[in-house]
Each structure stands twice: as C-alpha cells, then as structure tokens.
Structure 1
Amino acid sequence: MCIYLTLTHCMGIYTHTQQVLVEGSIDGPKDHLSMTTSSNDQHGPRRIILRGLMVEPWWSFLNKSIADSSSSSSQSIPAWNHDVFLSFRGEDVRKNFVDHLYKDLVQQGIQTYKDDQTLARGESIRPALLKAIQESRIAVIVFSENYADSSWCLDELAHIMECVDTRGQIVIPIFYHVDPSDVRKQNGKYGKAFSKHERENKQKVESWREALKKAGNLSGLVIDENSHEAKCIKEIVGTISSRLPTLTTNVNKDLIGIETRLQDLKSKLKMNSGGVRIIGIWGVGGGGKTTLASAAYAEISHSFEAHCLLENIREESSKHGLTKLQEKFLSLILKADVKVRSEIEGRSIIETRLHNKSVLVVLDDVDDLKQLKALAGSHAWFGEGSRIIITTRDEHLLTRHADKIYEVSLLSQDEAMELFNKHAYQKDKPIEDYEMLSKEAVSYASGLPLALEILGSFLYDKNKDEWKSALGKLKCIPNAEVTERLKITYDGLEPDHQKLFLDIACFWRGQNMDKAMMVLDACNLHPRIGVKVLVQKSLIKVSDARFSKQKVFDMHDLVEEMAHYIVRGAHPNHPVKHSRIWKREDLKYLCDMGVAAPSMVKLTLQ
C-alpha cells in the first residue's frame, strides 16, 4: 500500500507543501495524530504516525531529499506574478514619463507593478514592495536626476540586482536625462547624493554603489533633451514585449475548425461596442469549449486593462470551496496576494476592485449557479468594456446569466476525418487500405474532438486486425456512453501504465511534474517510460504552469472523469471499495466511521 502525504505545518511556519511517500509499517511515538489503514496482504493493518513534518524512522532520508528538492526548485523555478516592476523617483518622473509608460504597458496587456505610495523620510521599504520585485519577470529602472537621493529607490535597486543573480530577473535601465557614467561611477548629482548617504546610511552605501555600478553597465535606453519621448516609450514597450514569453495557453495554432468558431464567438463578444457583456459557451464534454475560450483569450486579452483565465472551476470549487476560488480569481486578475474571509466579502472585493476596470474574464467549466454568483454575480461588478466568457455543459446556468449563448458545434465529417488522421497516421490522409476503417472509427466519435484525438492516438501503429478488434468493441457501447468509449484506450495499456495513469489522474493533475515523477518512481511505476506512453496516447499532457517555468501534468476533464469512473468501479458511492482515495469527504468518511478499506492501494492526506 502507498500513501501520498501532503503535509503542511499547521502553525504556518512552513510556506510550501512537501509531497512524501510512505510504504509499509512505521514505528514512532504515539502522542501525535495517527491513522490506521488496511490492505489485503498478510501483514494486516498498518499504523501511520504523523509527527509534524517528520514520519519516523526509515523514510526520513526520503523526506529530506524531497524537502531539499522542493527548496532548490523554489529557487530555480521562480513564480512570476507580474511582467514588469517599475522603479522610479516619483517627484522626478511620476506625472509625465512614468505615467505614460505605465499606460502604454497596460494597454499592451503587460502586467505592470507601479507603486504610487510615498515614504516618510527614514521609513523602511515595505515587505509588499520587496515581494512585488521578487515576483516580477522584468524590472524597468528609470534613473532620473534625483533617483540616488532616495534611500528607498536605492533599496529597491539593490533588491532588484539581487534578484538578477538569484532569480534570473531581467533589468532594463532607462537613463532619463542623466549620463550612464554618472550612474556607474556616482558622479555629478549621484555623487552629491552619496556624500549625504555616507553620513546617514553608511552601512548600506557599499551595496548601493555596487548595485548602481551593475545596473549602469547594462544595455539600456538614454533619453535626453533631443529625444522624442513618445517614440522612446514605444521602443521600451516593444523591447519588453519581445522579452516576455508568448501567452501560455493550451491552444494549438493548427487546431482544426477553430478559426470559424473563433470568429463566430468574437461576433457575439462585440468587441467594438461598449458596456459589459457576458457570453456563455455551451456544449458537451470534450467538444472543445475550453479550447475555444482559451483561443479567444489568447487573441483578445491584450485589449483589456486586466485579464484572467480561471480554469477547472468545477473541480477547484469541489476541492477548495468558493472562498478559495474567489481568492484565486482576485489574486490572478489583480496580480496581488488577496485574502478572502467569506464568500460575501469576496463578492464585495470583486465589485469594489473591478467595477472601474475593463477586464476579460474566462470562467472555465462552471457547473453550479453558486459559482457564477460568487465570481461574476452582476454586470455592475465590472468596468465599461469588460467581457466575461463562461464555459459549461449546462445550458440552464446561462439562460438568465449570459447576454448570449454560443453553442459549440461538433466537427463536420471532413474536419473529424482530418483530426483523426492527424493522430492515427501522423498525416492528413489515411494509409492505403485503411480508408474504410478510418471512416468507421470517425463515425463512432460522433464529431467529438477529444474522442477523435484519443481513438486516433490509440490506433496509431496498430495493424488491421487490432483495428477491427477495437472497432468491434466500440459497436457494443451505446452512443451516450462517451466515458466507456474513451476507456478502450485505457484497456489497451500495460498494467503498470494503467496504474500510472490512474495515479496521475487522481493525485497529480496540475501538480509539479518533477516532484510527481520522484514519488511515482518510488512506487516502482517507471514513470520515465510510462509518461511518454500516456502522452502518446493523448491521455495526459505536460504543460507549462501559469506564472512559472514549472512543468505540470494535465489532462482533459473527460479523461479525468474516466479515471475516476474506473477507480470507483461498480461502487461509486462507497469509498470503502475504491482503490484510491483523493477526495477529502471520502477520507473523512473512512476516518469518522473507522472503516477499513480492503481495496485501497493509495490515498492522499492534506
């Protein structure tokens, strides 16, 4: 039996979560939380003792290794919550150059942090500002005549240059009516400022000088009395845009049939009209709703002051509740760490913070009216020109909430054949003598993109007899049973790959891939090989995490549902008979009832 333990220090001392694996019986002191689990083997019940963040004795080395890995990972894979941090001397440039630069950056959809507060003399730089610097991919430093007069600006600069070394931050210096050599060598007004700092802030002067020297040696833009500021700002924005990664979505430019559907959706959005519009995208699971919404988001998000794509709302709401969902939404769209104490407070914050902003919001996979009321309760919550896109399988949710409903049409026969061929043969046309088999397979997919992708990937490199066998099984499945049709791919996997797939679907979707691979490898599931197989079969994907360089496991909602369907088997409402426990309510039920779960091989604790 394996147990995935997600252990978070309850006193809040530890700020990150560690994933650890326990296997076999464990001895330890009995004055801490304990749980008894069961298995079918001869050893009988096994007792697990949780002691803070340590489980003694034999796997402490593994725990330490993972903790070390997590620590090094957090250093090497920064989470960027802002695209740009602006560092400037307010009284020099706030009301002209910086305001114009900030406006142009925001108009281009570049998430920019500009602090408009001022500090009293001698006041320390705020922790929130240091955090904003650390979470910004690019720092733009506007060196003006009086920049060095401010100890606050110099503290910012020192922290920025530290982030260059520790986090790979990019720095773009702007020399605004100052000579770069004055910055590097602290001459002129910079020299006078440092004469004063030598008396008042002697302990910091050396680090400030070093930071100015490093920043002054970087390639930047010099703006003097002969410069055209509007053109310079345009050049700066262009430089920043070129240094930012392309918007991360799961949208493939070669998606079949996406162009016409995207144009139809945009016509309902009425981008050139005023007001706030809420558009619903409705269709069956696996029909391309999320793909279409993501494509629209990628294409038009730059036109808004702020934007947010909130994915997997159904799952996130079920796991964490509406208040946490509101926190995530606000933190994403405001690029700040927002805390929400209640659902009512969350609604109030959303309206207060967004009612005067033009925003683009995509709410993906909504399945309950409560979710809409918590996240987009009224048109009045959002500013002029805002657009809200909702994807759902339930048309009824949209009838009163959306201005227009766009029903996603399934693929035409030609589009379906093109998509199937792409996955079954890795080309546009079928192999000779396979045309009739291809048409038969396409007919079973009923124009559903996900089914076509998975069936095609499954049949790739199979011979004719294997094709006929698979298609014969499909004939026995009723049209409505999409899950059963997808399950044919699962049935064709090797046993170890089946276990690996179920583990990823139940425990690791959206999680750090490196951490997951380490734990799965410790379970002897050989993930290095198995993950490649599952990707080839279109059952899982490896994606970039939003706002960081981490790789995470992902899959379509319908594929995840299929995995859960398999795990629950013939007893969907009896967790005691499930092979894996991942939902809090199921785990609580087992603990409260003191019930042994003879079928269970894995569970997760949080």
Structure 2
Amino acid sequence: MATQRPSSSTSKVSKKRKRDHSSSPDWKHEVFLSFYGKDTRKGFTSHLHDALKRKGILVFKDDETLKQGEYISEALQKAIQKSQYVIVILSANYASSKWCLMELAEIVEWEEKTKLITIIPIFYHVDPSDVRNQRGTFAKAFAAHEKAPKVILPEIEMWKKAFSKVGNITGEHIHDRCESTIIQKVCGRISNELNSRFSRHDYDKLVAIDSHVDEIPGGDDHCRRTAALGAKEESDGEREGEMMKLLDMESNDVRFVGIHGMGGVGKTTLARIIYDRVSNSNCRFEGSSFISCIREKSTTARDLASLQKELLSTIMQEKIHVWDHHQGIKVIRNMLRNKKVFIVLDDVDSEKQLMALWSHDWFGPGSRVIITCRDSHLLKTHGVNDIYKVEQLETTEALQLFSLSAFEQTHPRDNYKDLSMDFVNYAQGLPLALKVLGSFLFGRTIDAWTSERDKLKAIPNPEIMDVLQISFDGLQDLQKELFLDMACFYGGHEHIFSEMLLERFGHYRIDLDVLVEKSLLSKAYKGTLIMHDLLKELGREIVRRECPEEPGRRSRLFRVEDLYHVLKNDTGTDATKAIVVDFCPETKFRRLNGKALSKMRKLRCFKFHQSRTLKWHGKPLKYMPTNELRYLEWPGYHSKSLPSSFQPENLTVLRMPGSRIKQLWKGSMVLDNLKVFDLSYSENLIEIPDLTGVPNLERVYLEGCRSLCEVHPSIGSLKQLNELQLDKCTSLEKLPDLSNLECLTDLWAEETAITQIPSVNLMPKSIRRFHLQGCKSMRLKSRDPIFDIGSLVEYQKEGIYDYVEAAYIDFDSKGENILDMAGGVVSALDDDLKMIRGWSLGFHIPEWVQHKSNGSSVKIDLDANTNPKMGCAFFIVCDSDQFFSLHWEDASISSLYKGWITSRSEVRLKLEFETEEYCEEYDCLDCRLITPPLNVSFGKRVGFWVYIPAVLQLLDIRKVNRISFETGWHPYFSKSLEKVEVKECGLHLICPDDANSKFFNCITPFGHSGSSNSDFHRQFVGYMKKKEAL
C-alpha cells in the first residue's frame, strides 16, 4: 500500500533545477525520446530514432542501465534539461512503468518551470482522452501503483497530473494511420523549426531586441531572456514589444504585419526571432513556415511555383507538388483556408511575389503572416494590417553589438575604446555594418584597426555596400539620379535636405516619396529629409565606379582631389552633371584652370566653397556652360561682378554669400526660373540689380550687406516674393514701395538704419511679421497711423513647429484708449498633447473656477473616479500697469505686428502631474505680447490662460493623483518682470461638453467695451477650437 511520506529527492532536485535555470541553457541534445521499451523499442521508436538521425538531429535515446534505483539518475535529469524537444511515445503499457512515470513527471515539471523544452506527444494506438482521464489500461496501471508498498500518494498524484498535462497537448495519434507518415511528419516539423531557430551563440549576440519583441502569450521565457543579452535595461524591468502589439496574438482574426526598414537594419533578424518564439510557444498554430530570401529566389515564374511548394510542404509536413504559380494559388487557398498558420515571408520586393504567396482569404482564423520588405508602399498597396519600421540602434546599443562581434563581450577592451567608437560612428547604428566590421576586426592588432579605419575613409566596405545597393538597383532611372544627387550634394557634416531645394534642382516630389518608401531616405520633422551616412557612401561609390581611373568621366565630382585633377589636366567631359566640393581652409595653395569647365556642357549643379588658398586662372563663370545649369552656390565668390557672357536661363537657385561682388549685373537679366537669390554678407555690395527680368523670385537674402544703401525699386514688382531678408544692412535707411507684393509675409530689417516705420500705403496686406529689433535710429510715436488692425487670425510656422496665432487690438474713436486687446496660440505641448494658450486685458478669473489662490501656485488632488476625458484650464492674473511698465524697462523692439510694436515676454507656467512613481513637468506658457506705447491707457488687469484638452486621458488618470502649477517670468527675455506680482491664479478640470460654455466664453477680450460678440471673438475662438489647425 502506498504511504504518505516526504520524498527526499524532491528538494534536492528542485534546488539543482533552480541553479541550472538561472544560467543560459547549454543544449547538448535536440530531441529526448521517452517511451516504454517493451512496447516500442524495437519497432516504432527504433524507426523514429533512425529517421531523426538521418535528418542530422541529435537524439538522446536512454540506455536501460540508466533506469535503475528508486529515483531518476542525475545523468538522466541532465539529459532532459539539456534537450530542446521531448517526444513522449504513449503506448498501452507506458503507465505500468514506474520509471516512465517518474521520467514524465520530471519532463513536465522542467517544462512548466523553465519553458525551455517543447513536448510532442505521440499517442501510439491509444485514445488521447484515455491518457487525459486515466481510463482503460492507464486506470489499471495507476491502481496497481497505489497498492505498491514503496510508492507514496503525493508521488502518484504528481504522475497523474503530468499524464493529464501531456494528454492535453496536441500531438500525433497513431490509430489507423501509416506509422512511416507520422515519423516523416514529426521529423520534418522538428527539422524545420531547428533550422529556422537562432542558436545560443546567435542569441547571445542580439542587442536591444526587447524594444521590438516582448512576451508572447504562453511563450518561451528562455527566448525572451537570452534575446535581451547585451540590451539596455529598462527602469521598470519590462518594455512592451511593439511588434507583438501589432501581431495581437490573442485575437482570432487573420493579421498581416509588415516589417520595414533600410537594408541591413535587422528586419530578417527580428522576423526570425519572432518566428522562433512563436514556434516555441503554446500559441497552437497548426503549421508554420519561414520562407527566406524571396527576392533572390523569385526571378522567374517557375521560381514562384517553387516558393509556393516550399510554403505548402513546410506547413503540411509532406511533399506537395505545384506545377505552376497559378495552380499554386488555388492549392494554397484550398489547403490552408481552414488552418491556423504562422508564416514569415522574408525579403519581398515585388507585387507578383505577394500575389503568389498570400491573400486575405487564404488562411484560417487566428493566422498570422509577417512580411519583411524595404518598400513600405508595396506593403501598403497589398493591404497589410500594420507596418513596423525598424530603426537604427542608439549609440550605446551600437557599441554593445559591435563589441560582441569584435571582442565577444558587450564592451570594448580598454585600449580599443576610442577606435571602437570610430567604427560605431561610421556605422551610424546600422547592425549589418557593426557586425561586418566587428567580425573583420576580431583578433587584430591596434595598428590593423587604425589602418582599416583610415581605409574606410577612402574605400567603403564592399560587403556592406552590396547589401545596401539592392535597394538602389530597384529604382527607376530618374529615381537613381535623385538618389545620387542627394548622396553627393552635401558634405559629410550635413544630413538634412529640403524638398523644395531638390525640386528646384530638377527633381519630382513623387520620386522623393519613393526613396522614403524604399528606406533610402527618412523623413524628419516637416519638410526635411535625412539620408544615412552609409547610403551617402553607397551613392558616392556608385559614382566612383562609373570610371575609377578618370574622374572627368564621372557624373558627379565631390572630392577635392578629383576636381583638381580634372581642372589641372583639362579632362572634363559631357558626363559631368554636378560639382559639389568643399575646399577646407587647410587646403594647400592651388591654381585652378577655369577654362576646363567649358567641356562640362551638361553641368546642372555647381557648389563650390572658395578658399584663400585657391586662385583661378581665367574667369570660371565666363567658361561655365549655362544651358542646363539650375543650381549655383559659390560662397566667397572672388570677382566683383558676374561676367556678361554668363546667362543661365534655367537657373533656379543663386547663392553667393560672403562674396566680393559690388554689382551683380548691369541692366536687366532674364532669369524666369530663378526662385532664390542670396548675396548675404557680401560687404562690398552697393546695390542690387534690376530684378524686372526675374518675375518668379520667391526669396531674397541680403543680410549683412553693410554697404547696401538702397534696394532697387524693381523688387516691388516681384509678385511671388514671400521673404525679404535685410537684417544688418547697416547703411540701409529706407525701404522701397512693397505694397504690390501679394505674397510677402516676412520682412526682416533688424539692425538697419531705417529711421521711420513705413507708411501703410507702402506695405503689402499679406505681411505677417516685420522685424525691426535693433533699429536704433527709429523714432517711435504714441501711435503711428500704420495699419487698420481690427480683427486678425493668422497661421504661423516657426522652425519645425506649426501653430495658430491670433491677436486683436481695438481703440476708441479718438485712438487714445485701448478698448479690447488679446492674443492666443494653439500649439503642441509634445507629440500627443495639444494646448491652447493666450492672454487678454481686463481679465478676471471666472466664478466657476473651483480651485483658486491669491498667490502664484495652486494644486488639486485627484481620485480614481475622475473622468479621464477631463481637460485642465489654468488662469493667472496680474496688475497690467506694473507688468507693462516693468516690461518696457528692458524690452527692445522685436517686430512690427500688424502695425504695433511687440516684444517677447515669456510667462512661465510650470505644470506638474504627480503619481506615486514619478512627477512629470511641463513649461508650457510662452506668449508674445502686443505691448502698447506708455502714453496709451488700458485696463488694470492682464490675464493669462492655458487650456489642455483631455490631458488626463493622455497622461493616464489611473496613475495621476495630483496636479499642481506655479507661475513666474522668464528672466532671459525680461529681467525686470521678475518683480511682477501674480495677484491671483486658478485651476479647473473641464469636461469636453463644458469647454464651449465655460472656457471659450471666458477668454473673450474683457476690455472697456465688453465686446464679447465681436467678429474678432468669433474668429478667435473658432481658431482656438480647430484641432485640424495643428
């Protein structure tokens, strides 16, 4: 009879397991076979063992000598713990063996604790339900064990639990099926999964993978842990993987997710990691397949059929015949439409590949398909559910990955630190480059490292370039030209490209979009484009390969030595389309042959930085062909004027900052295509030429032209001009008539000699900003009759940030007293948080505001029941006489805002959102005040307000338990304002439904007239409420 007594082996084994589990696994076997020898050893188990070995799979098949004694030997424990798969062959008499039951309990316990093994049950001529419920022969076997004198009851319960657990795992049932078919299927499954998995060595070299992938439901703890080796740790110990969010493994719909990014960034690595984890999880897919290198494998229609055959055969675990890809589509749909499958399609680059391998209705509920691709547009057009972009590594992560390849540890050796950073900076976070360079440098001397670093400056690594060039080869001809222009157009220190500039260089916006979609460019901020340094190197290497021996036969010249060679030896040809060269100040003295430019008849771009050590023989612009010239940039241009023979009819951009030009040209020159004109800091310039023949000019930059006394009146005829820059033209005393410039929005005239603000009749209605800071000769009057201000609502853009700004001033009939004055801005507090902020005279904090203070700070406590859709409104009131009088003490004129002098004052409102774990702060109120002259009267109060809609929802109300704010003045803009006393402040939580009736009504300009129904108020509030304005 079984008795109840503790097992001495349990604690010992558990302790050992814990110690083993804490370290990384060291698999010695791929498959462990568990079976009852008398039933299957010489038959089914023997055939299965041989089939696995023929597949090259390492199998542990126990020896009878190991099964001796009362408990499982340490050798057998280690064999189980060092295996990746356990195949349990459940035959009729399996449960009659006490040894088999102890072995099974050991297997199940190890799987539950570590998730390091996959159990595959084979029900050998037994009913799976009998295994789960211990019926039939299994019931008899357990009854016999219960009567055995040396068996204890807790041990029997552990066996039954293990038996039930294995019986509930989906496996293979041999009943009336051919045994050889089952053997082939099991061997095929294991072989396929092992071949697609990362080895332990591969796992140990992964960096920052947890930023992409997180825990899979029922997944493999080992994969999750080892994949993070070398990765940066998060403060909370966890980071939710974006890819797993997109896959949404819990839902039952069919989902298709694309992985997008530039070549070598780790798309395939990420896909393999996910495939490995899903395959080794309990997500219960009925089949899986990883089809790699699709681009390379599908050059013909026959190749597509082969890919379809590979897909079907790996999922069905049997050989499937596909005669052509049209028939393959029907076969895939028929065979897989009711199967829950997990598929990865790696390196797709054409529509025909996707059409041959998947469609939305081909797979069963719960299926998941991942597609890796360099072209995001291809993924979008085929209707993927989501696209995940893989970004380059941060510097810390990049150094770890490089070190793993170069030193087999996560950090460089002490005497290699600086050199390591040189290579990390060169790779710019691209994993391919980091691994290629690290592997190449492994075990080499410091001298070898230094030599390779210097070599890379001249000759890029071919292995890296070959991978990157795949994307270039897939471009159309015009797109290739655009890519090469961008790669060669700027020096190594410049990374940002303007779409406008590239269009003016003769390219099309649609081709810019294609480069972004194909991961050859990245969009950053609004209107700027960034190219990775290694892609720049690729473009320059492609140009060099056009004619390695003779630079004059290349399409673009960008190296100083190459240009010097061409000009010295007069080897220029029609092949040259662009010259983009920076001569460093250290360049040795050289004389350049300007006449050699005459052979470059297809020259479109000339960007040349003059140096004092360079002297031209002849006038280069006299010989430069102009038929196709579109872009000319020559900082420091050395001549006093342009030669009369220089007639670039197609020129769109002319930049000669810091030149010696006195007069650009005489008379009128016809340049219908010129858009940008830049002679800034040309200190000898005494006048600008007649611009009548340049009707499409949009931007004129004359900043720092200290000798410029007059702006030619023809500038008043430029209907397309939107920006005129005249700052620091210290000899300029007056402006011409600009009233007909319908597009002019920004006029900069800071630090000029202008003595009087121009009359309203000489200024265009379109002007938004007229900057006059530092005009020391200007005489201010109490109120110059410049503009009829009335109501104003306008859209503004400064740098990369968009916002909507509104301002309003209303006087009495005599123009002596301000009746109403207010201003406001709608902007972004950060990526997700919108904010409405502003100010007005005569302002009182509304009575309905719940939380008020007579000081400069206020706070409120929140509870869990607070509506998460609540917004926050903040109010500040101070004495306007004190504010404006102190403000004028050190405020200088900064701009003319629709006729009124303004100066910048930053009212600082520090918001704090407190939780139990952290305190999040924002400095969010920055108002540009319309400051009236001192002899104009106004009300006694000035108020400032901020409204942040749905702030609690964005910050997660479940965690925020207190909101507080404190006000003050920014001393950088006006030190005297530190003396201003805040009389009152308030804070109120507002429901979205109450925003109109409460907040927007209270920000009416409360002046003497109380004109709450003014046209301005309607426009002002309307703009404040427009979400699309941002």
Bigger fraction of residues in helix: 1
TM-score scaled by length of structure 1 = 0.44
TM-score scaled by length of structure 2 = 0.27
